[in-house]
Amino acid sequence: MGPSADSLELRSKHRYEEATRIQFSPGVYELNDGDRLLRGEPMDFQTHLYGPGEMDRLLQKAGLSQVRSYSSFGKTPAATEAALESEILLSECTA
């Protein structure tokens, strides 16, 4: 058997609604054999983008306490003003 010509591609578009702070990412995964489409699978991700302190308030409202936010897995404390520009925001809390 020779090498496979199969390829998996993701075709997607993104749009952001500022009023709801939701990023919509509809798309389709396509499995191709050369120029021939073997299979397509649609997907539709919707991601709500939270503002500084918003997730902390939601976690506390859910009954969790001692909520701490970090901007890295090394537990670097997240500064409120930097939270909007951070690629990662982790929360640690107690039930």
* pLDDT over threshold 90, residue 72: no
Dihedral of the alpha carbons of 34, 35, 37, 43, in degrees to the nearest 10? 90
**Residue 1 maps to a domain:** no
Looking at the fold, whether 44 and 61 belong to one and the same domain comes out as: no
Looking at the fold, whether 44 and 10 belong to one and the same domain comes out as: yes
Q: What's the pLDDT score for residue 88?
A: 74
**Residue 89 maps to a domain:** yes
DSSP 85: T
Looking at the fold, whether 60 and 85 belong to one and the same domain comes out as: yes
**Residue 63 maps to a domain:** yes
Residue with the two structure tokens 């929360």 = 91
* Domain containing residue 90: 54-94
| Token pair for 44 | 């539709």
**Residue 43 maps to a domain:** yes
Looking at the fold, whether 41 and 63 belong to one and the same domain comes out as: no
pLDDT digits (tens, 9 = 90+) for 2-58: 445 689 999 999 999 999 999 999 999 999 999 899 999 999 999 998 876 888 899
pTM above 0.85, yes or no: no
* pLDDT over threshold 60, residue 1: no
> What's the structural domain count of the chain?
2
**Residue 15 maps to a domain:** yes
| Contact assessment for residue 62 and residue 56, using Cβ atoms and an 8 Å cutoff | no
Q: What's the pLDDT score for residue 2?
A: 42
